[in-house]
Structure 1
Amino acid sequence: MNFSQIAVLLSVAAFFGIIVKKINQPILIGFIIAGFLLSTSGFLRGTEVISDLGKVGITLLLFLIGLEMNVRDIRSLGKAALVTGIGQVAITFILALALGLILGLDMLTAGYLGIAVSFSSTIIIVKLLSEKNTLDSLHGKIILGYLLVQDFIAIVILITLASVGGGSVGFYDYAWMLYKIVLLFCSVWILSKRILPSLFEKFIANSQELLFIVSIAWALGISALVAGPLGFSLEIGGFLAGLALSNLPEHLEIASRTRSLRDFFLTLFFLSLGASLKFEGLENLFFPIITFSSLVIIVKPLILISILGLMGFKKRTSFLAGAASPQISEFSLILMTMGVGLGHINNTYLTLTVIVAVVTMTFSSYMILGAEKIYSEVKGFLNIFERKVTYDNKYVVNKNLSDHVVLIGCLRTGPRLVSYFQRKNWKYLIIDFNPNVYKRLIKDKQLVLFGDITDSDILKVANLNKAKLVISTIDNVNDNLMLLEYISRLDKRPQTIFTSGSRTEAIKLYHAGAGYVVVPDIVAGDYIRHLIKSYGLKSNRLTKIGKNHYQRLTFT
């Protein structure tokens, strides 16, 4: 492949990427279409080189997952993450496996397809939720939780497949596989804790260029070692290489610098995937494509909505969390590609999976972006998914609460306000969607609603029309604007105080009717000016005030 061919390849990929982006679709769909058209036109005849380069993208994708993975994050996101992540994958797999067997597929092929349709796309979901500024919402936290669990399950499956390989497997093969896995993870732990931090600190961390090059070389070198002599796969090597560097103080900088390179090589992976599509005998795949696409688009969200409803979440939260799931993951394509390479399945079912991916990713993009509008149309049919006692009303003992303060968010700023309310003997109600904060408040016997302020049902339970003051300590401008819109429709409107991340957002809140908006950066500047004006620069009074402030920070 010469320079001109590479230039044409990337130009066509960029062109179709722009087109699909314009219609609110994942860019990878454009890359797959570009690869298919370049292949069918005869321009891209041999895909070996581009396929090998695409493997670098997959390796770096797994490298970044290992670099950023923190199992403690799963625990911090609570039981909802584990139950929804494991439950949805298990139920979807069983249903898809049964469908595959009904359609006449052999057990192994049906199993591969069952696993492939069980996972949702972390990259697409996080990107679209970021565009909507809803990652910090209650349903956004739940979504991030079950995606993290699914990524962990996917890694375990990839490790297992890489260990088993294409041959027959007996007890001793499994024992040997388990021994190698334990040995690998122990080696990674020792490297991560005892060796690599000191090496990077002494020889590498002081140069940004060297840090980037060494990190990439480490990722690809460990991948080659794990995939070669140790008999696993490049993907697993990339994951373990990332895991080994995850304890470095510079791991976030490494991740930030590696993403662009990953995206470039992933573009080549999706181009090669599109170029490998073969549509001979597609008429025989039409019904399986419709069947598995329907399972992903309709059944997967219903599974999540049902699980969250049984756990006590309101129907709105359950619906918005489930609405993010109706697509299959990049892991699904990696899994099926690996299955073809191992000889477990033939290329026809890789083509089927790619088409299902395109169909479901296209549909889910519109569903995620329009989830609130869809909910307003179907919420009357969702009552069956909501329990009578939900988190938001379980601990509200006085439904006629009035002349009270409503405090939204109680993680950082909130606790100091609560202590003030208690000294003043004010009635107050806290709204928070962080499971850990909620549990702490319940333990302290605080009056608290577990929910999201974008849910009008939560605001009704909070009796805002009878409140004297509403304080929002969250800095999500869209959530705060929705809250102000709700308050503007009340017959009796409470006083409002908001916090904002920037001057521009503060102005938006004022235009929407906010009573007062605190901008931390501006407040900090004003207070520093006050300190200098009051205590000067030459006296030791500033130092004494600082020591008093230190005591307050330490013991309050």
Structure 2
Amino acid sequence: MTEHADGFLLPILVFCAAAVIAVPLFNRAGLGAVVGYLAAGVAIGPSGFRLVTDAGSVRAVAELGVVLLLFVIGLELKPSRLLAMRRDIFGLGALQFAATALAVGLAAWGLGVSGRGAAVIGVAFAMSATAIALQILDERGTLQTTHGQRTFAVLLFQDMAIVPILALVPLLAPAGGAPEGDWRDALAATGLAVGALAAIVLAGRYLLNPMFRLLALFGAREVMTAAALLVVLGAAVAMQWVGMSMALGAFLAGLLLSESNFRHQLEADIEPFRGLLLGLFFMSVGMGMDGRLIASQAVFLLAAAAALIAGKIALAYGLERWLGSRPADALRSAALLAPAGEFSFVLLPLAAGLGILAAAHEATALALAAMTMALGPLAARGIEMAIRRAEERRPPPEFDPDSFADASGCVLVIGFGRFGQLCTQMLLAEGVDVIVIDRDVTRIQAAARFGFKIYYGDGTRLDVLRAAGAGTARVVAICVDDRAAALSIAELVRGSFPLARIHARAYDRIHAVDLLNAGVDYQLRETVLSALEFGREALVGLGVAPERADEVLEEVRERDRQRLADQQASGAVLPQSVKIGPRLTPEPLTPPRSAPQPLSPETRDVVAEQAGRAAAGRAAAGKAAE
């Protein structure tokens, strides 16, 4: 038992140690996590320290990372989003992909690669590194800019194109590798594939949402995660059984759930597995690289990588300028699209296994793809620095306060109770793009009956917030009625998404100060405005002029603001972790003019009796807890 455990755990320890060492170093150098994983794989593989020698068995498991990546891509491809970005996705994306594939394919053919092999190489290198490009955009905070959106559109088209490409590559395989079957067998295989696709579509349409709704009502968090993995892997295995790509099944499952209320929760549950397995996949690719080949062809590979990066930048820049992008935006976007994509490490081995690509050409192409991933981020950084220097030398343009053409973003509303519903109505009335998450399934179902689209998700989880778009939201509105959860969300958003404004619903004065200390930009006690308005109407009912009632309301509200600011500045409210003694001494904003009147004997008796019952109940609860 011990020997078996050691044999199982040792490779895991090696992979974890290599990732922990390599990835932070390469991230620090600006090369990205993907290059770090590749380098870690080279270091521990047969070309390095030979700590792990069986790259094939590792890749068999690691390919699940690609499957999960396709599922997440499918989740993000909502029809409405595709429609809004259709010009950039299907126009710029298709042109960039076709032009790059043709140019690279012709270059490979000219270097002696067969026609079919050159076609696969052209398609593989026309892809761009989604992980690297999105990471750079996220680090710069430019995903919502014009060039960020166009870059994302091109990447989106490439991610969509990989599904039919994976299905079409086997058609390029040379004939004669296996005996041809009867036409009846081919027809049966086609019917089986169509049946599997229909089964997945029907299950996604009629079964998945009810299943997740039921699990959300009665299941634990880990059961939701297990169900998400069950859906992804089940669809992938179903496609594999009928002879199609596992990635196609995962993509279909994600696409069918893209309009689900549980989309953000599913993405958050899948994300850790996707990241780990995709990192393992890149490490397995690094392990499979031939170090001696890279060393022997270092000059050629460096020159080819530089030429490939320059060519892809030139093609993408020309197309974006032709479609109306500004020069700086086109150059930034083109630089981000220069590195070869993650799917190069899927397509090239697939083509080699089918006999389309020679083994020597496959090894060279894989090494070249890895080198573009290493050099591409450096080129993007250099281009960005050059553009910024050029922009600094230009005189600043005149500011037009009425022009907000580049303004973008949305509001993430957490909690769709009474408070959140009214808040959302204000935003929707002004045409603001709103994303709402809530973890109450009954509330989500009730909102759906009135036409509201509410996503299921726990706002106290960082992965859910990230999946719901907190990283790009301009305002995060915390409308939950749980004071502890609201404070936790505020601290999480402030620490992880510092550029977002935080507006929070406060329970009382103590909670309001806690939220201010947590860094919220605006807080409002849930009863303040309604109570003040109620008091104003009482004054009007007593005959006070409405104008005077408005003045009194503003005076009381201003005193309340000042009192709250003083209490926060003086530390009158203790931290939430302090449980001993009162955290705040209640003080009236305006003391009463008359002395308090004693209760009548009957009232005193009733109050004393109720207080005795409450004390007895607390004592009984304390004994039960002990």
Q: TM-score range by the shorter chain?
A: 0.5 to 0.7
Structure 2 CA distance for partners of 1:349 and 1:533, relative to 1, 3 Å? farther
Structure 1 CA distance, aligned partners of 2:72 and 2:269? Answer: 11
Structure 2 CA distance, aligned partners of 1:79 and 1:176? Answer: 39
How is 1:352-367 mapped onto 2 (pairs within 5 angstroms)?
Answer: 352-367=364-379
Structure 1 CA distance, aligned partners of 2:23 and 2:110? Answer: 37
Match of 1:406 in 2: 402
Structure 1 CA distance, aligned partners of 2:119 and 2:528? Answer: 66
Q: Which amino acid aligns with 2:524?
A: G
Structure 2 CA distance, aligned partners of 1:149 and 1:305? Answer: 17
Matched, 1:220 2:233: yes
Structure 2 CA distance, aligned partners of 1:237 and 1:66? Answer: 10
How is 1:83-232 mapped onto 2 (pairs within 5 angstroms)?
Answer: 83-161=91-169, 183-203=195-215, 206-207=218-219, 208-228=221-241, 230-232=242-244
Q: Which amino acid aligns with 2:402?
A: V
Structure 2 CA distance for partners of 1:170 and 1:373, relative to 1, 3 Å? farther
Match of 1:342 in 2: 354
- Contact 2:66–2:278 (Cα < 8 Å) also in 1: yes
- Contact 1:333–1:353 (Cα < 8 Å) also in 2: no
Structure 2 CA distance, aligned partners of 1:12 and 1:337? Answer: 24
Match of 1:33 in 2: 39
- Contact 1:132–1:369 (Cα < 8 Å) also in 2: no
Structure 2 CA distance, aligned partners of 1:407 and 1:232? Answer: 51
- Contact 1:74–1:149 (Cα < 8 Å) also in 2: no
Structure 1 CA distance, aligned partners of 2:225 and 2:105? Answer: 43
Q: 3-state SS of the aligned residue for 1:525?
A: strand
How is 1:540-555 mapped onto 2 (pairs within 5 angstroms)?
Answer: none
How is 1:220-259 mapped onto 2 (pairs within 5 angstroms)?
Answer: 220-228=233-241, 230-259=242-271
Structure 2 CA distance for partners of 1:128 and 1:170, relative to 1, 3 Å? farther
How is 1:240-319 mapped onto 2 (pairs within 5 angstroms)?
Answer: 240-282=252-294, 289-290=301-302, 292-319=304-331
Structure 2 CA distance for partners of 1:538 and 1:160, relative to 1, 3 Å? farther
Q: CA deviation at 1:334?
A: 1.4
Structure 1 CA distance, aligned partners of 2:155 and 2:521? Answer: 37
Q: Which amino acid aligns with 2:32?
A: P
- Contact 2:301–2:371 (Cα < 8 Å) also in 1: no
Q: CA deviation at 1:292?
A: 4.4
Structure 2 CA distance for partners of 1:299 and 1:232, relative to 1, 3 Å? same
Q: Which amino acid aligns with 2:24?
A: I
Match of 2:620 in 1: none
Q: CA deviation at 1:372?
A: 3.5
Q: 60, 63, 68: which is aligned to 1:52?
A: 60
Structure 2 CA distance for partners of 1:187 and 1:295, relative to 1, 3 Å? farther
Structure 2 CA distance, aligned partners of 1:174 and 1:363? Answer: 45
How is 1:460-471 mapped onto 2 (pairs within 5 angstroms)?
Answer: none
Structure 1 CA distance, aligned partners of 2:21 and 2:401? Answer: 54
Q: CA deviation at 1:167?
A: 5.1
Q: Which amino acid aligns with 2:132?
A: I
Q: CA deviation at 1:250?
A: 0.9
Match of 1:15 in 2: 21
Structure 2 CA distance for partners of 1:105 and 1:204, relative to 1, 3 Å? same
In structure 1, list runs of 5 or more residues that go unmatched. Answer: 380-398, 414-433, 435-473, 477-499, 505-519, 542-556
Q: 3-state SS of the aligned residue for 1:91?
A: helix
Q: CA deviation at 1:134?
A: 0.4
Structure 2 CA distance, aligned partners of 1:372 and 1:214? Answer: 43
Q: Which amino acid aligns with 2:73?
A: I
Structure 2 CA distance for partners of 1:233 and 1:405, relative to 1, 3 Å? closer
Structure 1 CA distance, aligned partners of 2:232 and 2:119? Answer: 30
- Contact 2:89–2:153 (Cα < 8 Å) also in 1: yes
- 1:166-217 superposed Cα distances (whole Å, 9 cap, x missing partner): 7569997998887666554443332222222223323466432111102112
Q: Which amino acid aligns with 1:106?
A: S
Q: CA deviation at 1:23?
A: 0.6
Match of 2:600 in 1: none
Q: Which 10-residue stretch deviates more, 10-19 or 344-353?
A: 344-353
- 1:415-434 superposed Cα distances (whole Å, 9 cap, x missing partner): xxxxxxxxxxxxxxxxxxx9
- 1:389-420 superposed Cα distances (whole Å, 9 cap, x missing partner): xxxxxxxxxx9x99x8523157799xxxxxxx
- 1:508-544 superposed Cα distances (whole Å, 9 cap, x missing partner): xxxxxxxxxxxx97566399744532334998x9xxx
- Contact 1:215–1:254 (Cα < 8 Å) also in 2: yes
Structure 1 CA distance, aligned partners of 2:195 and 2:385? Answer: 51
- Contact 1:305–1:322 (Cα < 8 Å) also in 2: yes
Larger radius of gyration: 2
- Contact 1:197–1:247 (Cα < 8 Å) also in 2: no
Structure 2 CA distance for partners of 1:198 and 1:530, relative to 1, 3 Å? closer
What RMSD over aligned residues (CA atoms) do the two structures have, in Å?
Answer: 3.8
Percentage identity across paired residues of the two chains = 19
Q: 3-state SS of the aligned residue for 2:403?
A: strand
Structure 2 CA distance for partners of 1:526 and 1:321, relative to 1, 3 Å? farther
- 1:344-392 superposed Cα distances (whole Å, 9 cap, x missing partner): 224433332332233222222233345442225679xxxxxxxxxxxxx
Structure 2 CA distance for partners of 1:288 and 1:528, relative to 1, 3 Å? farther
Structure 2 CA distance for partners of 1:129 and 1:528, relative to 1, 3 Å? farther
- Contact 1:191–1:244 (Cα < 8 Å) also in 2: no
Q: CA deviation at 1:282?
A: 4.8
Q: CA deviation at 1:107?
A: 1.0
Structure 2 CA distance, aligned partners of 1:121 and 1:29? Answer: 11
Q: 3-state SS of the aligned residue for 2:357?
A: coil
Q: Which 10-residue stretch deviates more, 133-142 or 9-18?
A: 9-18
Q: CA deviation at 1:89?
A: 0.7
Q: 3-state SS of the aligned residue for 2:243?
A: coil
Structure 2 CA distance, aligned partners of 1:200 and 1:376? Answer: 48
Q: Matched residue pairs, number? A: 422
- Contact 2:62–2:278 (Cα < 8 Å) also in 1: yes
Structure 2 CA distance, aligned partners of 1:528 and 1:159? Answer: 59
- 1:424-477 superposed Cα distances (whole Å, 9 cap, x missing partner): xxxxxxxxxx9xxxxxxxxxxxxxxxxxxxxxxxxxxxxxxxxxxxxxxx959x
